[in-house]
Structure 1
Amino acid sequence: MSIFNELKASLEEAVAIKNDKKLPARVTRYDVADVKAIRKSLNVSQAELAEALGTSLDTVKSWEQKRRNPTGLAAKVLATIQEDPQYFNVLAAH
């Protein structure tokens, strides 16, 4: 099958799924951390959270305003902090 035919078949499948004529083979969902809720539960400022995560204050603000979502290692670290808030203290100490 040529690349064109594969792309065409893929697009036709996407349209069929969109029009509820076919079910997707799999659905991947990602939980996006509620950064503001995590920060408030820790009782820390945006600047303190940014410093502990090694990111900028503007990035934390963007996450809290839902303009951007944490990805990669930041998302994993936030999920870990959400599960175990004491982990924040370990990060902040370094």
Structure 2
Amino acid sequence: MSIFNELQTSLEEAISIKHGKAQASRTTRHEVADVKAIRAALHVSQAEFAKAMGTSVDTVKSWETKRRNPTGLAAKVLATIQDNPAYFSELSSH
């Protein structure tokens, strides 16, 4: 099967699921990290945390107040820090 045919089949399946004609074969859910708790456990300011994460203080504030959720690489880095707080020291040294 060509890549085009695979994509076409996948899109047709997605449309069927959206219209309630089919059930999703799997659902993936990710736990959203508690950024405020992570930062508090590390004893760092929002500014220090933002710098280490390569983001703005406003973004950290948005994560902490749950106005926005971290996505992509930020979510993965936060999950890593949550599992292994020592990783933050390594991250902040760069």
Decide: shared fold, TM above 0.5: yes
Tell me how far 1:27 sits from its aligned partner: 2.0
- Give the Cα–Cα distance (whole angstroms) in 2 for the partners of residues 92 and 55 of structure 1: 12
Deviation at 1:57, TM superposition (A): 0.3
Structure 2: gaps (5+ residues):
1-11
TM (norm. structure 1) is: 0.77
Larger radius of gyration: 1
Q: CA deviation at 1:25?
A: 2.9
The alignment covers a number of residue pairs equal to 81
Aligned to 2:30: 30
Distance in structure 2 (CA, Å) of the matches to 1:69 and 1:12: 28
Q: Does 1:78 align with 2:93?
A: no
TM (norm. structure 2) is: 0.77
Aligned residue for 2:20? Answer: 12
Unpaired stretches in structure 1, ≥5 consecutive residues: 1-5, 15-22
Q: Provide the residue aligned with 1:66 in structure 2.
A: 66
Deviation by residue 1:11-39 (Cα, 9 ceiling, x = unmatched):
0337xxxxxxxx65322211111000100
